[in-house]
A = this chain, B = another copy of it.
Amino acid sequence: MKKHPKTGDNGNNSDKRRATSYDVATLAGVSQSAVSRVFQDGASASKAMRERVMAAADQLGYRPNAIARGLITQRSNMVAVVISKLTNLYYPEVLVQLTQRFSEKGVRVLLFALERESDTESVVEQMLQYRVDGILTAAMFTPGQLETIDNAGIPVVFYNRSAPGQQVSSIRCDQEEGERWLVDELVNAGHRSFGVVEGPGDSIVSIERRTGALNELKSLGITDITTVSGDFGYETGRECFSELVSKRGSPPDAVIAANDVMAIGCIDEARESHKLSVPGDISIVGFDGVGPARYSAYALTTVRQPVQRMTLAAASMLLERIENPELSPEKRSFSGIPVRGSSAKLNPAE
């Protein structure tokens, strides 16, 4: 009894049902296993076989079904990439680069975009159902979610964040170090009163940057510090600056914004609404090194994240762990690249 008596009128290559390896096998007069082997890397197949099969495959427009392959091999060759919405101008580059890196390795990217960084409920469920081989996330997971993922044996790499109290792999830019540099430069240039514009409360990146800045300021004996908070966006950057001024009664010597976009907002607000010159009357610095930071109207003093190296490392780290699940967690921290723009009065050189 034939198990697969499906092919209707073969020879014609554009038909509703997609050709399967059985169809190809039948047309080529070989077994299905042979077809399967021809379409694999390390499989043994003679040159003659290869040619016969390929000819038949072309004729039928056959291509292996990755879904079926994933089922039998227990490998989907897909990784989940999780991003959150707020991380506006910065992540696009990251995402495109990541996707290309994975692509080169024959791995597809299943994208999940969160409205807020804390919306991870259903995402975890989806990732597990699709049996992704690994997870690269720019959002936090709860300990419970992490345990679930870990039980499923799926490696996870955190991007610019980590899991509190958990042993996990991560790639990050050293935010504290970057803030330290910024603060040092500003203080060395004689600034004594500071405004700190932080980002959203559920963003670790924002928290690290704020903490880094405040700690360094404190350790340098600076006490005149005013803090306000925004959402990483341009508009709130502007609002934050005005809030800062009204809270203090006057502008501080310098403003440390949690990211470049808010720093730009601060600059615009300072210039437009408060008639201040930047950096003549006030110094303003950011963080990230996004595109607009270079625009000459701002020429932001900032710390640039080494995106290229970070994405490359993140992809490698995840792929490694997919190949070898026993690898213990690893944290790689990259130093940011100091960028002296003209948005802050700094010491001439060091």
Give the B-binding residues of A (Cβ under 8 A).
13-14, 16, 18, 61, 63-68, 70-71, 76, 78, 81, 83, 85, 88-89, 91-92, 95-96, 99-100, 103, 108-113, 115, 125-126, 128-131, 148, 151-153, 234, 261, 264, 267-268, 271-272, 291-292, 294-298
Give the number of times this chain occurs in the complex, counting copies.
2
**A77 to nearest B CB, angstroms?**
9
Give A111 to B78 CA distance when docked, in angstroms.
10
Indicate if the CB atoms of B66 and A131 lie closer than 8 Å. Answer: yes
- Bound together, the chains give a CA A88 to CA B61 distance in angstroms of 35
* Sample (7) of A-B pairs whose CB atoms are under 8 Å apart: A63-B128, A88-B291, A89-B92, A234-B291, A271-B296, A291-B292, A297-B298
A14 / chain B contacts, CB cutoff of 8 Å:
151
Which 3 pairs show the lowest CB-CB distances between chains A and B? A92-B92, A297-B297, A99-B113
Not counting A63-B129, A109-B110, A297-B297, a sample of 15 additional A-B residue pairs whose C-beta atoms are within 8 angstroms of each other reads A18-B152, A61-B151, A63-B128, A66-B130, A67-B67, A67-B76, A68-B71, A71-B71, A88-B92, A89-B92, A108-B130, A110-B111, A268-B296, A272-B296, A295-B295
Give the Cβ gap from A87 to chain B, nearest Cβ, in Å: 9
Q: How far is the CB of A35 from chain B (nearest CB, A)?
A: 15
Known: A88-B291, A298-B297. A113 touches B108 (CB 8 A): no
CB-contact partner of A153 in B16, B92, B95, under 8 A: B16
Known interface pairs A108-B130, A131-B66; A295-B297 also in contact (CB < 8 Å): yes
Q: Which residue on B lies nearest to A90, using beta carbons?
A: B92
Most chain B beta-carbon contacts within 10 A, residue among A85, A108, A153: A108
Query: How many angstroms between the C-alpha atoms of A95 and B71 in the bound complex?
Result: 29
- How far apart are the CA atoms of A76 and B76 in the complex, in Å? 12
B113 touches A95 (CB 8 A): yes
Q: Are B67 and A234 in contact (CB under 8 A)?
A: no
Residues of the B chain whose Cβ atoms lie less than 8 Å from the Cβ of A113: 95-96, 99-100, 103
With a cutoff of 8 Å between Cβ atoms, the chain B residues found around residue A151 in the complex are 13-14, 61
Whether A83 pairs with B111 at a CB distance below 8 angstroms is no
CB distance from A299 to the nearest CB of B (A): 10
**How far does the alpha carbon of A268 sit from the alpha carbon of B129 in the complex, in Å?**
50
Known pairs A67-B67, A70-B67; A111 contacts B81 (CB<8 A): yes
Residue of A95, A110, A297 most packed against chain B (CB within 10 A): A297
Cα of A115 to Cα of B101 in the assembled complex, Å: 11
Across the interface, name the chain B residue whose C-beta is closest to A93.
Answer: B88
Which residues from B are CB-within-8-Å of A16? Answer: 153
